[in-house]
Amino acid sequence: MRMGLERAFMDGMCLGNDMSIQSIAVLGAGQMGNGIAQVAACAGYDVTMIDINQDYLDKGMVAVKNSLSRVVKKERMNQDDADLAIAKISTSTHKNAASSADLVIEAIPEIPELKFSTFSEFDEICKPDAILASNTSSISINAIAKATNRPERVIGMHFMNPVPVMKLVEIINGSATSPEVTQLVLDACEKMDKIPLSCNDSPGFVSNRILCPMINEAILTLEEGVAEPEAIDGIMKLGMNHPIGPLALADLIGLDTILHIMNVLYEGFDKDPKYKPSQLLEDMVVEGKLGRKTGSGFYNYE
């Protein structure tokens, strides 16, 4: 975002070979998808944001506009550049809108079968040299790649939440991902003013293999009546110097997403009980208490 848009556009135009990334399709306009669309547009890419209905797309665009006006207010960008970035994003409810994209970044719910069928579909829709990336938090990149006929062009691009603020993108190389694809994706992350760090495919990768069991443990601590949410979060913030407590973080991420990730870890590590989702987490998801996105989780947001 710090990079002037004009320079970013010129850089894009200078990358005149076949393998350069000029256009990005983002699948899913939810909290991650709209954030990814924003940082990609700010880097000068042509962005198409795709979702299943217009309401989600409209909400996604409102989120982008609100986020950019906060950036302008903080004088980190001028209004003209913000307007230019917004104009770079088009929206569609049709998957075919991704047919000419150089890079597709999928950010739909963390459900393995949904990711597999979607990648299989996009393998048909997208041009043969397009890179298909997933923003999955935990699902095997090798398993996603297997759903396509281009496993060498499938990779994990795990942006952190909130995308416009967080620097890291965890890059997950599948066993077939080509070094050329990895390099193009690393370059794209840097152009989006992010810091990409690479790892190999394994359940939960690095970030969520460590983070989500900690959040699950915090939920167990609450479930067992050891302390109230404010105390659990306060102890972890003040005692461990964490910027946000684990329960407030679970509300930010979405309890449904945390449960999906714990299930991927539990199954992926042969039902090792240390990854078993807590009963309270399961119950809250069934009750629709998903955190900030539903207005209620461990805390209320109304």
Looking at the annotation, which residues are catalytic? 137, 158, 170, 208
Nearer to ligand NAD, 90 or 161 (CB): 161
Task: Considering only the stretches 5-13, 49-57, 191-199, 221-229, report the one whose residues sit in contact with ligand NAD under the rule CB under 6 A.
Answer: 49-57
Q: Are 132 and 105 in contact (CB under 8 A)?
A: no
Nearest to 28 by CA among 52, 2, 62, 64: 52
Asked whether position 29 contacts ligand NAD by CB under 6 A, the answer is yes
Report the residue from 109, 234, 288, 295 that binds ligand NAD according to the rule CB under 6 A: 109
Task: Considering only the stretches 2-10, 108-116, 147-155, 279-287, report the one whose residues sit in contact with ligand NAD under the rule CB under 6 A.
Answer: 108-116
Q: To the nearest whole angstrom, how small is the minimum distance from the Cβ of residue 158 to ligand NAD?
A: 6
What residue spans of 74-206 are helical by DSSP H? 79-87, 112-125, 141-146, 179-191
Q: To the nearest whole angstrom, how small is the minimum distance from the Cβ of residue 120 to ligand NAD?
A: 12
Taking each helix axis as running N to C, give the angle between helix 255-268 and helix 207-223, from 0 to 180 degrees, rounded to the nearest 10. Answer: 110
Cis omega (within 30 of 0) on the bond before 162? yes
Nearer to ligand NAD, 44 or 56 (CB): 56
Nearer to ligand NAD, 81 or 110 (CB): 110
Q: Are 59 and 29 in contact (CB under 8 A)?
A: yes
Element spanning 55, H or E? helix 54-73
Q: To the nearest whole angstrom, how small is the minimum distance from the Cβ of residue 175 to ligand NAD?
A: 21
Asked whether position 219 contacts ligand NAD by CB under 6 A, the answer is no
Asked whether position 8 contacts ligand NAD by CB under 6 A, the answer is no
Asked whether position 31 contacts ligand NAD by CB under 6 A, the answer is yes
Cis omega (within 30 of 0) on the bond before 196? no
The one-letter amino acid at 163: V
Task: Mark residues 236-255: x for contact with ligand NAD by CB under 6 A, - for none.
Answer: -----------------xx-
Report the residue from 12, 33, 156, 246 that binds ligand NAD according to the rule CB under 6 A: 33
Asked whether position 107 contacts ligand NAD by CB under 6 A, the answer is yes
Token output for 160: 């952190």
Q: Are 174 and 201 in contact (CB under 8 A)?
A: yes
67/34 Cα distance (integer angstroms) = 10
119/259 Cα distance (integer angstroms) = 22
Pairing of strands 168-173, 154-159: antiparallel
Residue closest to ligand NAD, measured at CB: 30
Asked whether position 288 contacts ligand NAD by CB under 6 A, the answer is no
Task: Please report, as ranges, the residues that interact with ligand NAD according to CB under 6 A.
Answer: 27-33, 50-52, 56, 107-110, 118, 135-137, 158-159, 161, 253-254, 257
